[in-house]
Amino acid sequence: MSKTSPTTPEMLALGCEVVIEAEATGDGAAAEARLPRFSMVAYTGGAIRTMGFAYPVVVNLDGLKIPTQQRPVRFQHSALEGVGHTERIAVQDGNLIAEGVVSRDTPAAREIVASGKMGFPWQASIGASVEELEFIKRGVTVTVNGAKFTGPVYVAHKTTLNEISFVDLGADQRTKARIAAKHKENASMDPDELQAGDETGEVDGSAGGDESNPIQKPTRLSASFTGTDPRIEIDQMTARARAETERRIRIQEMTADVLAQRPDLADELGRLAHAALEAGWKPDKYQLEVLRLGRSFNGVAGPRRREIVASNQIIEAALCVAGGLDREELEAGFSEQVLDTASRQYRHGLGLVETLLLFAQANGYRGYGRSDLKGLLQFAFADVQGSAMSTISLPGILSNVANKFLRSGFEAVESTWREIAAIRSVRDFKQVSSYSLTGGFVYEEIPPGGELKHATAGETAYTNQAKTYGRMFGIDRRDLINDDLDALTAVPRRLGRGGALKLNEVFWKEFLDNALFFVAGNNNYAEGVDTALGIDSLSQAEQLFLDQTDPDGHPLAVAPVILLVPNGLYVPATQIMNSTELRDPASTKKTPVANPHAGKFRPVRSSYLSNAQYTGNSTKAWYLLADPNDMPVIEVAFLNGQQMPTVESADADFNTLGIQMRGYHDFGVAKQEPRGGVKLKGEA
């Protein structure tokens, strides 16, 4: 799992259910009360599919910031097509709900009200800034909004609500819209009532509503209202809305394509695009007008092969290809479709400056790249609503790419600790406790009519606590001038290696500091010349392990499975484990040759066991350990289960011209159950 903290808003398309209320009647009603009102359940806490994310997204409602109760309401996220504003936004019963008024006098507002009253099933999409995003990898389960989600999935832990838009098709296609019978003062929303309704999508049949219900029963629309079957009109409106969406997307794509090649046309092209969107021009007409605007620009006549595609994954893949990530790692991080698309659009991958220009030009930059680094960075990292790249995050992309190379460096370092340690997830940096696995869980006979007795955890508690380790690094102006992609790839790879080395250092310092852990008093330690690794000493170690008892004196009934040795003993250990017969050519004695321990234990080695930098090191000592899932001798705790370090990036501060990055890792290491292993000194 990996966390990023993007600064560019991700547009989260969340399906919702919308109610549009009719105007209040009566001369005494205030002007605002006469405005059409809407009510919606904007998000129900589940996992949704949305553009810019390869996997479903879950928004943590506990981390959703609502700056004010009055947020703009738009059509298709366009600031030029306002609809109204909210008056109340809240998290209620596990739902994000909103209600407000249609307070804008625009064609979009009038269309939404008219279509909603006729039964058009409007849905919604929220524009939210994502400040903290966590990727939950495949097979890992997390609990968010009171529900469990299994990866791969993204969890947006911290978000800020910017606006809400009406759309014809949201991420949740099962929702529907209804028309309330009449306006009610001081009405509040009931999410359960709002989600109930006729599964056919038709409006309900009563003319009035239940006065006790804040959301009124909808009025059935008769054929005489429009002169045609309302369902036919709804289908026609849906088709028109989808065609309009496709028209706008095509014009925006063409605009972005031209801007990428001719940033000097930004002002003129912006006005032209606005006119095209407002006047309903078809893409062909817009293309012709663009040709007239920039006669000197070659290649505008037809769609260019290399379009700006608002996709985190495609841009990340192109950067990773250029950075030299091997094929296996690429296929592990991206789908085949994403890799093929990245290969077609960015045949030779993407450079560092080229990526910055991609975002800067989409935000209106008209400078000259490396000769204007300050302007380039300001525009590239700008948070510009409505730009061609507003749905993706440059800091997020840089962080994700760096994290992939960091993972490569992290996984290249010895990770023996994974084989001998229990791994747990913690929610914060507070000290956590676990109890001995030797508590009173043995079944007892229950007499007829008797009650079951509670099992008790062991009295012995073991503690652990996550701490933060990290380093900062930067991509400075020299890297940018040189367009040095290694700054984004090789440096994070080294940072990943540094994170793995730190984890190993903390782990093995704790493991080898066992002078009070593996001792004769705990019945898990033996020394002497006969403890050197061999058949007889293995038999001794196995018996020592199996003879251990729980606090009540009963056998543990747990067998050792891991033979942990320093590098110098690894070859003898594997020979013993892999040989079915052991012969001594110099011996004349008749002795058994069958190997009683063949294949019994799994040999595991570590360079840290014999390293002179660590107290307790030895070239001769070795260990027999239980499976850490059964009875661990040591444990590693990771904050929120994040086992890999995380890289985050952002524009550098004022005093530094470049890009800042930081890598950090939250983990803790602590010894646990002494009965989970035995140590043999290997010498007197």
Between the CA of residue 530 and those of 296, 348, 541, 561, 618, what are the distances in Å? 89, 63, 11, 22, 16
Q: At what angle do helices 352-362 and 312-323 cross, to 10 degrees?
A: 160
**CA 472 to CA 491: how far, in whole Å?**
11
pTM score, whole prediction: 0.52
Q: Element (H or E) spanning 114, and its range?
A: helix 107-117
Buried b (16+ CB within 10 A) or exposed e, 528-537: eeebbbeeeb
Q: What amino acid is encoded at 381 in this protein? A: F
Residues 6+ apart with CB under 8 A from 490: 405
CATH label, 417-436+461-558+607-619+631-684, candidates 3.30.2400, 1.10.101, 3.10.450, 2.60.120: 3.30.2400
Q: Distance between CA atoms of 572 and 565, rounded to whole angstroms?
A: 10
Name the stretches of the chain with pLDDT < 50.
Answer: 1-2, 4-11, 13-17, 22-26, 28-29, 31-32, 172-231, 233-234, 295-310, 384-391, 654
Work out whether the CA dihedral 628, 631, 636, 642 comes out positive or negative.
positive
Q: Are 97 and 69 in contact, with CB atoms under 8 Å apart?
A: no
Q: Supply the pLDDT for residue 79.
A: 75
Torsion sign over Cα 19, 22, 24, 30: positive
pLDDT digits (tens, 9 = 90+) for 50-77: 655 557 888 899 999 999 999 998 888 7
Token representation of residue 275: 């006119």
Q: What residues contact 246, with CB distance under 8 A and at least 6 apart?
A: none
Cβ-proximal residues to 460 (8 Å cutoff; 6+ apart), any chain: 435, 436, 551
Residue pair 182/209 in contact by the 8 Å Cβ criterion: yes
Question: Which residue, among 50, 53, 71, has the nearest Cα to 164 in the 3D structure?
Answer: 71
Give the per-residue pLDDT at 506: 97
Residue 478 host element (H or E) = helix 477-481
Provide the token pair at 489.
Answer: 């790839």
Instruction: Report the alpha-carbon distance of residue 500 to residue 498 in Å, rounded.
Output: 5
How far apart CA 350 and CA 340 sit, in angstroms, is: 14
Instruction: Spell out the residues 6+ positions from residue 661 whose beta carbon is closer than 8 angstroms to its own.
Output: 398, 399, 402, 472, 473, 474, 475, 491, 492, 647, 648, 649
> Would strands 525-526 and 467-476 be described as parallel, antiparallel, or unpaired?
unpaired
Residue 475: HSE in the Cβ half-sphere, 13 Å Cα cutoff: 29
pLDDT, position 221 = 26
Backbone angles phi, psi at 410, to 5 degrees: -65, -45
Please state the domain extents for the chain. Answer: 2-207, 417-436+461-558+607-619+631-684
Residue 180, SS3?
strand
Q: Is 474 exposed, middle or buried (0-12, 13-18, 19+ CB in 10 A)?
A: middle
Q: How far apart are CA 398 and CA 4, in angstroms?
A: 10
User: Cα-flanking dihedrals φ and ψ of residue 405, to 5°?
Assistant: -75, -30
User: End-to-end alpha-carbon separation of the chain, Å?
Assistant: 46
Q: Long-range contact list for 477-480, CB < 8 A, 24+ apart?
A: 477/373, 477/657, 477/658, 479/352, 479/658, 480/352, 480/353, 480/356, 480/370, 480/373, 480/376, 480/658, 480/659
Please tell me the predicted confidence (pLDDT) of residue 527. Answer: 97
Beta bridge partners of 359: none
Q: Give the tens place of pLDDT for each residue, 470-490.
A: 887 777 767 777 766 777 788
Interatomic CA distance for residues 600 and 611, integer angstroms: 28
CB 51 within 8 A of CB 37: no
DSSP string, 585-640: TT--S----B-TTTTTSEEEEEGGGG-TTSTT--SS-EEEEE-TTTS-SEEEEEET
